[in-house]
Structure 1
Amino acid sequence: MKLTHGENKDKEIKLHWLLLGELTTWIGSSFVWPLTSVYLNKQLHISLSLIGVVLFCNCASNVLGSLVGGWLYDRCNPYPMIVAGLSLDALILFLMAFFHGWPEYWVWLTLTGFISGWNGTLINSIATSLRRYPGRYVFNIIYFAQNLGTVTGTLAVGYLYDYSIKLLFIIAASLFVVATVNAVINYRPIIAFHKKRQSNVSHEGHKQKAEPMPKNNLLMTIGFSATLIVIWLMYMNWESNLSVYMVSLGIPFHMYSLLWTFNGAIIVIAQIILARYPHLFKNLFHQIIFGTTMFAISFVTLIFARDFAHFALSMFILTLGEATAFPAIPSYVNELSPITSKGKYQGEINVSRGIGQAFGPLFGGAIIDRAGYIPFFITAASGIFLMILLILPLHSKLRKRLKLYK
């Protein structure tokens, strides 16, 4: 396995400022997505089918934002791009505070989807520039900050929503203002990194195209992307169809909500452990396989779940998969990506996630409507296990020919 080392940088964005930005933006974002379906249906009296279209537009625009953000990161100075993305998100949330009727809410949600994909890809791409820490550690700790923000936001949103939806959006917008100010002040080192990166790809005064990913690396990345699509395709049904199933079994809805607090808490604990013991897994691929296997097993356990305790067990197993596989995949793809193409491939990872998020509820709903929940759980487990059976021999065949960029 060939290894290309990057240089240590004396000046780079401090990791804690990157984490502050992620924490504040994910708290702000978590004020919006949990209430969307309830607000549109109960307050604006929008049908559930039309709400599904609204959420699909949000996910589709997120995919587009990820593609554009990744493409531009490799070609342009990312500093003004991330500042613009965060400030635009703040502006839209302020507008939502005062104009949250129909159909403007649909428009705002579609725009925030695009900007969220843009910002997410840029942050992941900027994270690849950090040389002070191993890539595995950086992506694990970023994922920790994101989920800490999600837990904080989802715990607060219920109280704020009952008090005032206007105040909720103003607080969310203010959090994005904090993230914008943080980026303006503390993300400036990415300018020098970008200039150095651009100078490294110049030849006789003419800029070369971004270095393509080696063929073997590309094949492995495609395998990871396909796996991520399948995982999200199944995972999204936890956020949509599982609530209906649990209520149909006589489990109160607030117990379903409690599962997500449990999910966030386990992720935070798992990320602390992974940060403290970065070599708990032999390598990133082992971490990905472990996480993907946990996802599959969680759906196997759902086949037998009939009470809250069993659903909590399924959520615990699912969360182990989420806490290990999700941060490990972009980290490994970072190592597989040439320095001039990192934004492109981080964008494609976000696109894979977005595709699964967009089509997951539709896919699960179609199977459940025609065959029921148990056949869906079997399909979900089988689909994820199939991806493991595909990427294991793929990695075994390619691993000695992979070129890693540190």
Structure 2
Amino acid sequence: MKPVHEEMRTIDKQINLKWLLTGALLSSIGMSFIWPLTSVYLHDRLGISLTTVGVVLLFNSLASILGSYIGGTLYDKRNPYHLIIIGVSVATATLFTLIFYHGWPIFGILLFVNGLASGWNLTIVNSIGTSIKSLDARYVFNMLYFAQNLGVVIGTSIVGFVYSISITLLFVIATGLFGLFELVVIMTYKPAANVRRQSGSGGRVTQNHPALPKVNTIILTTFFVSLLIIWTMYQQWVSNLSVYMTSLYIPLKNYSFLWTINAGLIVLIQLIINWIARHHENLIGQILFGIAMITSSFIILIFAKTYPLFVGAMIVLTIGEATTFPTIPALVNSLTPIETKGRYQGLINAWSSAGRALGPLFGGIIIETWSYTSLFIIASLAISLTLILITLLWSVSQHRITFYH
């Protein structure tokens, strides 16, 4: 295995983080114009059954998984600049087509294509983030996470208003946002191609990828499975908690306000984490703390019958997600050599997308078979097991782990 200093390569010019964040923000706003209203539009406007809607959403998630994996794999072999242009172009073309053709079944087909492009673009953007050597990886991924969440806040806050005016206008604005994203990519992302020059020439990486140490492989696999479990449980907040709260006679607007709290706290927490990152570096400690907080949020839900307890659970959940989700890509980055960074960043998004796809179905089965309380207990236990497994595995193997820069 090569020493750490031999893994460090000189990059003549790096992509500016502000442009990477701008792209992530525009993409997130644009996508937030689509996913929140997919079910409502298909069911209420097009008269599609909820079962069919579920199938459409499942295939959209599967497309995102596929796009993430393919994008990450190609990142390690091809020119990232060309890859991001392809991904954004496909997304823009899909949204442009939706302006004129948004009936059934073309909407479902285009949603699948958009899912492919979404997974592809997210992975390529995150992978390009690994090439910014002038900044701490934790800071880069924290800021990407912040930009993506800010986009969700902006998009979801106005999508309902635009939808009430015209579904066509919704697609026009989304297309315009991705058109801006493409313009930013063409004008500012070209330095991303430099990372390929570190490992090969002519825009390709040599096929002799260094073998990843066995310990690193085991830890990475553990992280991926943990992401699957955590995201499966996290989706209960998105998909099933609203029904549970309304069954307790808590207004739906109060449930929506929980996500306003979530968005505001993420902004604050990211500022705090970035400050901590300048003085302390303990990625695994940060991840374990975050997973413990996510577990605690579900423990609170077991006993939650009044709105203040749901608010408390959301605060704890937000601290956990803002601490964990952007830190895992940073740690995975340090556990993988430059030749395979794209592949493993893609796997992060793929396993996370798989959890998001399985979440609603898993929760529905548990609720119908037992109860909401049973769901929260199972979620608490499952996430606790990932916390214990990661802690034990890291404690036993930390001295044999190979770190890369």
Pairwise same-fold verdict (TM > 0.5): yes
- Residues 74, 210 of structure 1: 8 Å contact kept: no
Matches within 5 A, 1:118-267: 118-199=120-201, 207-267=206-266
Query: Which residue of 2 is the match for residue 364 of structure 1?
Result: 363
Distance in 1 (CA, whole Å) between partners of 2:251 and 2:96 is 34
SS of residue paired to 1:390: helix
- Residues 144, 272 of structure 1: 8 Å contact kept: no
Kindly indicate whether residue 28 of structure 2 is the aligned counterpart of residue 29 of structure 1: no
Compute the displacement of 1:201 (Å). Answer: 12
- Indicate the percent of aligned positions where both proteins have the same amino acid: 46
Residue ranges of structure 1 left out of the alignment (5+ in a row): none
Query: Which residue of 2 is the match for residue 66 of structure 1?
Result: 68
Deviation per residue, 1:167-211 (Å, 9 max, x gap): 111111111111111011101112222122225999xxx934222
Compute the displacement of 1:276 (Å). Answer: 2.8
Instruction: Please identify, of 253-262 and 288-297, the stretch whose mean Cα deviation from structure 2 is larger.
Output: 253-262
Query: Which residue of 2 is the match for residue 339 of structure 1?
Result: 338
Query: Which residue of 1 is the match for residue 79 of structure 2?
Result: 77
Deviation per residue, 1:5-60 (Å, 9 max, x gap): 52353410000000000011101111111111111121112222221111110110
Distance in 2 (CA, whole Å) between partners of 1:353 and 1:96 is 27
What letter matches 2:342 in structure 1? G
- Check 1:44–1:291 CA distance in 2 against 1; reply closer, same or farther (3 A cut): same
Distance in 2 (CA, whole Å) between partners of 1:74 and 1:212 is 14
Distance in 2 (CA, whole Å) between partners of 1:208 and 1:225 is 24
Residue ranges of structure 2 left out of the alignment (5+ in a row): none
Q: What is the TM-score of this pair, normalised by structure 2?
A: 0.96
- Residues 274, 280 of structure 1: 8 Å contact kept: no
Kindly indicate whether residue 8 of structure 2 is the aligned counterpart of residue 6 of structure 1: yes
Distance in 1 (CA, whole Å) between partners of 2:335 and 2:69 is 18
- Residues 298, 376 of structure 2: 8 Å contact kept: yes
What letter matches 1:88 in structure 2? V
Query: Which residue of 1 is the match for residue 389 of structure 2?
Result: 390
What letter matches 2:217 in structure 1? L
Q: Aligned residues, how many?
A: 403
SS of residue paired to 2:208: coil
Q: What is the TM-score of this pair, normalised by structure 1?
A: 0.96
Instruction: Please identify, of 368-377 and 42-51, the stretch whose mean Cα deviation from structure 2 is larger.
Output: 42-51
What letter matches 1:381 in structure 2? S
SS of residue paired to 1:52: helix
SS of residue paired to 1:382: helix
What letter matches 1:142 in structure 2? L
- Residues 212, 338 of structure 1: 8 Å contact kept: no
Compute the displacement of 1:280 (Å). Answer: 6.6
- Residues 26, 151 of structure 2: 8 Å contact kept: yes
Distance in 2 (CA, whole Å) between partners of 1:48 and 1:314 is 29
What letter matches 2:339 in structure 1? T
Deviation per residue, 1:82-101 (Å, 9 max, x gap): 01111211111111122111
Compute the displacement of 1:279 (Å). Answer: 4.7
- Check 1:248–1:342 CA distance in 2 against 1; reply closer, same or farther (3 A cut): same
> Which of the residues 117, 120, 125 maps onto 2:119?
117
Matches within 5 A, 1:34-45: 34-45=36-47
- Check 1:375–1:307 CA distance in 2 against 1; reply closer, same or farther (3 A cut): same
- After superposition, the CA RMSD in angstroms is 1.8
Distance in 1 (CA, whole Å) between partners of 2:31 and 2:97 is 15
Question: Runs of at least 4 residues of structure 1 off by over 6 A?
Answer: none
Distance in 1 (CA, whole Å) between partners of 2:268 and 2:59 is 33
Deviation per residue, 1:353-405 (Å, 9 max, x gap): 01101111111110000001000000000000011111111001111111111
Distance in 1 (CA, whole Å) between partners of 2:59 and 2:120 is 15
- Check 1:297–1:305 CA distance in 2 against 1; reply closer, same or farther (3 A cut): same
> Which of the residues 72, 86, 109 maps onto 1:107?
109
Compute the displacement of 1:331 (Å). Answer: 0.7
What letter matches 2:314 in structure 1? M
Distance in 2 (CA, whole Å) between partners of 1:393 and 1:401 is 14
What letter matches 2:370 in structure 1? A
- Check 1:365–1:280 CA distance in 2 against 1; reply closer, same or farther (3 A cut): farther
- Residues 199, 206 of structure 2: 8 Å contact kept: no
